[in-house]
Amino acid sequence: MFENEVYERMINYQETMSKSHKKIANYLIENRETAPFLTASKLAKHVGVGEATVIRFAFFLNYKGYPDLQRHLQEAMQRKMTSAEVLVKTTDKDGSTSDVVTEILGDDIQNLKTTLNQLNTAHFEQAVQEIIDANRIYIIAYRSAASIGSFMEFYLDMVLQNTEMIRQGDGVSEHLLDIKENDLVIGFGFARYTKRTVEVLKYAKQRGAKTLIITDHYMSPLVPLGDLKLIAATEINSFIDSFSAPLSIVNALVTAVTRAEHVKVEKRLHDLEGLWDNFDVFEE
């Protein structure tokens, strides 16, 4: 993908880089359109390191000096631009795409656009409020939808500590018996809707819980079972459905909840931070 070797070098030498050098590499990679124009001292200021360190970085990558590194960055930029233009042209042609990636990612871009246009923002905002107000939250998502369900479970439970997903393996009933009036049940279901999802949601409504449905179509059998409905497009040219758009909606829900409850959430995240440190979970 990189036509010029500069970025390859950065990637290859990554492991032997010092902290500051990594910062510089990072900045160069993330600002490929502007960074090649900067002088050494300006780059140093942008990155937050000394000018000398920038110069050393150029030598570190085996260039003759900063101007040499700069020249290579500039060349990469020039070539990148034309290849980007070529790509735009190939995708713009009436649907006939040469390779699978371009086709699928293109479809997903379309799905997100469609979802965004069709989305009922009132329902979305209500959904956020219900999530915040809920006593406990249960997520129903079977088969392939389980992945998106567990993603939502992971983050909602991280920030609210009152969320769990009801999994296929579970002796369903025991969890379901807990569902109460001021609980919220979030159901995911996409084409080839599983019977079990429908059944569980019916039961949840019977028990008086609020229901939020995330599905792929207004004609979905889940729609009548939801007090709130969020529709996300999932169509791609494949035997599977794409969950990019529903996942993006989950991102938006989680983000909206955390923004509304940011005081609580920040404390919670800070506490977790200490925990993670203790158990040495993350790199760097």
Q: Is residue 277 a contact point for DNA (CB under 7 A)?
A: no
The token pair at 220 is: 């979905």
Rule CB under 7 A: choose which of 29, 55, 105, 158 binds DNA: 55
The token pair at 108 is: 């997903």
- Residue 242 gets which letter from DSSP? P
Rule CB under 7 A: choose which of 14, 34, 62, 64 binds DNA: 64
Name the minimum Å distance from CB 180 to its own copies: 27
The token pair at 197 is: 């999802």
Q: Is residue 94 a contact point for its own copies (CB under 8 A)?
A: no
Rule CB under 8 A: choose which of 224, 264, 271, 272 binds its own copies: 224
The token pair at 55 is: 């110069």
Q: Which does 181 bind (CB under 5 to 8 A by kind): its own copies, DNA, none?
A: none
- Residue 187 gets which letter from DSSP? E
Of residues 24-83, those binding its own copies (CB under 8 A): 25-26, 29, 33-34, 36-37, 71, 74, 78, 80-82
Rule CB under 8 A: choose which of 151, 188, 211, 215 binds its own copies: 151
Q: Which does 208 bind (CB under 5 to 8 A by kind): its own copies, DNA, none?
A: none
- Residue 45 gets which letter from DSSP? H
Q: Cβ–Cβ contacts within 10 Å for residue 120, how many?
A: 13
Of residues 181-210, those binding DNA (CB under 7 A): none
Name the minimum Å distance from CB 283 to DNA: 13
Q: Are 199 and 174 in contact (CB under 8 A)?
A: no
Q: Is residue 103 a contact point for its own copies (CB under 8 A)?
A: yes
C-alpha distances (whole Å) from 5 to each of 12, 38, 74, 206 are: 10, 19, 12, 63
Rule CB under 8 A: choose which of 251, 264, 272, 277 binds its own copies: 251
Please provide the distance, in angstroms rounded to a whole number, between the alpha carbons at the two ends of the chain: 27
Rule CB under 7 A: choose which of 51, 157, 199, 227 binds DNA: 51
x-or-dash pattern for its own copies, window 179-198, by CB under 8 A?
-------------xxxxx-x
Give residues with Cβ within 8 angstroms of 152, minimum separation 6.
Answer: 139, 163, 165, 186, 250, 253, 254
Q: Is residue 70 a contact point for DNA (CB under 7 A)?
A: yes
CA angle 163, 130, 245 (to 5 degrees): 75
Which stretches of the chain bind DNA, using CB under 7 A? 18-21, 39-41, 48-53, 55-56, 58-59, 64-68, 70
